[in-house]
Structure 1
């Protein structure tokens, strides 16, 4: 088909849910092929639970048409929320098309699920002689059965009613993952119907639980259980070596029809209100499997063997023990987690990884270390990436997909932003990606505690091939609208691109935009992998950087605290007026010395000094002069004491000196020095009164316990001081 001759290039946006699978890739490839043939510029937005960024206010009204895959409403709380989201999305473009379920006024493109399942049911009755079918449905997180599943059940019911059977007797709605309920249902019925996501949740790719029960029941009671399914992973039914029939919509055609419809709306051409696409029946069984499933054949028996379920690859238990040591603070976080991550990357057994995942998650959640960043770091490096490894294993059916998985897994090993850039360059060159950009929220805007965005500013990180990596990393932050405008409208040539939010552990990191080419056979799965791994790597790098910053800040804070602590300690041991030790400081210093010297040695003496006539000085000249007299005595003691002596003011007019190694013969000389310095201080003060003091002293001797009896020594020195003071002539 030739490209459209229209001069106008229509810009089309498509919204797809975050579930990874061949449905999305087939739909994406169908849209991309049709868009390329008709000169349409296509942007596919991969949606997650946070839709806040996709509004006209933030993104601008830059699209001519909008294609909405209605699975994006999966997490809406009510029909009113669905309507509100539709109105918000509808404001992005003047025209819209709905895929799957009718919402609002947009034309709807659906697969013929009702007719397809009826044909499937008839096939099971006529071809396999089934008479006791069971149809499984599962409620979504909002407690309701998705409308697409209801539609398929109606097809099942139509066929049973036409055969005179009551469909309600053959329906089972799973409220949760109930093993016993599944076992009983399989045991009592000879065929099982159900969507691929009905049993293990909306993000699980395999119906492992049902397969195992089917296989076990067949072995135990001899029931020839036949399976029928629909959905992108229904082919995994083959893993049980059971007869299988699949209803599979042609999603590539759905993609092409959706672009065709929106293009007709943009041109003002008529469009049918409802457009139905057919489903096809595919028979797969142990006698003749499809080529794409053949690679699973050798893996399955060991995976379902009872002894294999207990198998642990060598080294995993040791890694698990190391991770436990990390979580309890006994080991280096980063080295152990990266080591475990590398070990998981080397593991090629999908079933072993599935078995390990809950053990790892349980281990991470069990411990709550003091380091607040560690649980997030461990989860991002183990939990999210193990999930990606499972997807990589699922992609290993083709060597190309395995190669993609290997390249993508290397992105998660980046330890810095420059390292991540180099790994990205290698990946993009290898697969000839024409354009790739990361828009990362500025670091201050990411909150691990609230898991939401605090700003609309993005920092472009990497662009290919328009600017160099260095230029890209140095660009200033822009708002979301400018980011999308510059990226999507960067040149006039139509292209197909994918926009994916970057998030790890529910922390939104920004966006990834990539143009696709024919070399990537599974573009959505590939870029879903890159976005998850890049987000985990960026989060890990930022957390490691944050930890280094926190450690540096902590060291600075500890140094400041130490300085203040020393200052407070000095204040608590120092007399504020004189600068001498106070009573506490004096006793600490003397007792410490006495313990260090095992009794202080010989000839240590304690002097008790009392300022004479302080009360009279205060009464006659005022308290300011009283303080001058006190500081005068302190000055005398500071000048007279040796560096090894300890002088202190005990309070009021009372001072003490602990003189180390002062023999009896040197006492008179020390007293003479005190008297001489006192005369000099009085001349300098030049006051109408004389600063004088009385003193007493005694030899320091340990008591029987080896400690210094300070109180007893003070009493002895005080007695001598009293005698001296009594003999002194009044001064003022």
Structure 2
């Protein structure tokens, strides 16, 4: 009995309870026993009349030494029955002991055991421990289901937060990062580059003549010009570079692991792409981008905003040079 109490006391599933009970009852010469749980536990006190439950389910059953509940689909026991009909009938009369399974004021089911020379005390101990173990298994299963639901909710929340984060950091018109997205990603990238001792460039660009395009050709044309400029910048720079529209006709780019000798290369690439896009669009207006740059030195603690200001100043000089040469 001590071994059984230890085994069933640690059982957390119906299968564990079934196996521990079967082994113990076999050792006592019992070949048939059945455990059923009511559809709903019945709250019952001694002074109250008994109300018969609507029905129950056979969750553990051994009939003449053979398991009859190995299928995941539980057998239904109708109201007024103790066993499914197929096991309740037979040529020979059978004497069985029926014990209620209860937890505090709740009667959760019943257990039927072949009548042998087992003492009443052992029957009561069996019923009490099976009851407690079934309740523990039910609570454990409910906790697992709750934890699984919680994990699913947390996963959905994480996905929603990720999606919201992306939405909050992406410019709706161009699909580029917005100011918030650029600052967050660029700062993290610069810190990583600093730790690795790698420099880079910060670019500041704007779309020339956007106000005139809007005034003369309408805001739809202006939006198309902005989207075209965004596409040109995206193609000008590498996939690893952070390209953003920070407002209106202004763009900024962080290009790490490069230096100022590549500034003419980026500018030339942008001019070629710009000419190609204007030819493809065939509009009465032209997309023209001016761009300035400032070098990032990992050995200096220059804030990102300061580098953007320096690149903007270089952009201003570029625009003045354009006007002078026009």
Alignment pair present for 1:615 and 2:214: no
- Aligned partners of 2:186, 2:70: CA distance in 1, in Å? 67
Alignment pair present for 1:586 and 2:182: yes
* CA apart distance, 1:612: 1.7
- The structure 2 residue matched to 1:424, chosen from 15, 21, 24, is 21
Cα deviations across residues 372-396 of structure 1 (Å, max 9, x unaligned)? Answer: xxxxxxxxxxxxxxxxxxxxxxxxx
Partner of 1:460: 58
- Aligned partners of 2:235, 2:23: CA distance in 1, in Å? 76
Alignment pair present for 1:575 and 2:171: yes
**TM-aligned CA distance change 1:599 to 1:431, over 3 Å:** closer
- Aligned partners of 2:201, 2:6: CA distance in 1, in Å? 76
- The structure 2 residue matched to 1:540, chosen from 124, 136, 141, is 136
> Retained in 2: the 8 A contact 1:459–1:477?
yes
1:581 partner SS: coil
* CA apart distance, 1:440: 1.9
Alignment pair present for 1:720 and 2:314: yes
- The structure 1 residue matched to 2:269, chosen from 654, 661, 673, is 673
1:477 partner SS: strand
- Aligned partners of 2:90, 2:96: CA distance in 1, in Å? 13
Alignment pair present for 1:529 and 2:132: no
Name stretches of at least 5 consecutive residues in structure 1 with no aligned partner.
1-404, 448-452
Partner of 1:698: 294
- Aligned partners of 1:599, 1:433: CA distance in 2, in Å? 73
Cα deviations across residues 513-537 of structure 1 (Å, max 9, x unaligned)? Answer: 23534x23x32x3222111111222
More strand by share: 2
**TM-aligned CA distance change 1:681 to 1:543, over 3 Å:** same
Between 1 and 2, higher relative CO (CA 8 Å, sep ≥ 6) is seen in 2
- Aligned partners of 1:475, 1:632: CA distance in 2, in Å? 65
2:222 partner SS: helix
Partner of 1:470: 68
The equivalences for 1:472-551 within 5 A come to 475-483=74-82, 486=85, 490=89, 497-504=96-103, 506=105, 508-517=107-116, 519-520=117-118, 522-523=119-120, 525-551=121-147
Partner of 1:710: 304
**TM-aligned CA distance change 1:490 to 1:689, over 3 Å:** same
* CA apart distance, 1:469: 1.0
Cα deviations across residues 578-597 of structure 1 (Å, max 9, x unaligned)? Answer: 12221122222222233223
Cα deviations across residues 259-295 of structure 1 (Å, max 9, x unaligned)? Answer: xxxxxxxxxxxxxxxxxxxxxxxxxxxxxxxxxxxxx
How does the TM-score come out when normalised to structure 2? 0.78
Cα deviations across residues 633-670 of structure 1 (Å, max 9, x unaligned)? Answer: 11111111123432111011110122324433332222
* Aligned CA-pair RMSD: 3.6
**TM-aligned CA distance change 1:497 to 1:407, over 3 Å:** farther
**TM-aligned CA distance change 1:507 to 1:689, over 3 Å:** farther
Alignment pair present for 1:663 and 2:268: no
Alignment pair present for 1:687 and 2:283: yes
> Retained in 1: the 8 A contact 2:31–2:65?
no
* CA apart distance, 1:675: 0.6
2:80 partner SS: helix
2:194 partner SS: coil
- Aligned partners of 1:642, 1:441: CA distance in 2, in Å? 67
Partner of 1:438: 35
Count the aligned residue pairs: 312
**TM-aligned CA distance change 1:648 to 1:434, over 3 Å:** closer
Runs of 4+ in 1 over 6 A off after TM superposition: 492-495
* CA apart distance, 1:459: 1.4
Indicate the structure (1 or 2) with the bigger Cα radius of gyration.
Answer: 1
How does the TM-score come out when normalised to structure 1? 0.38
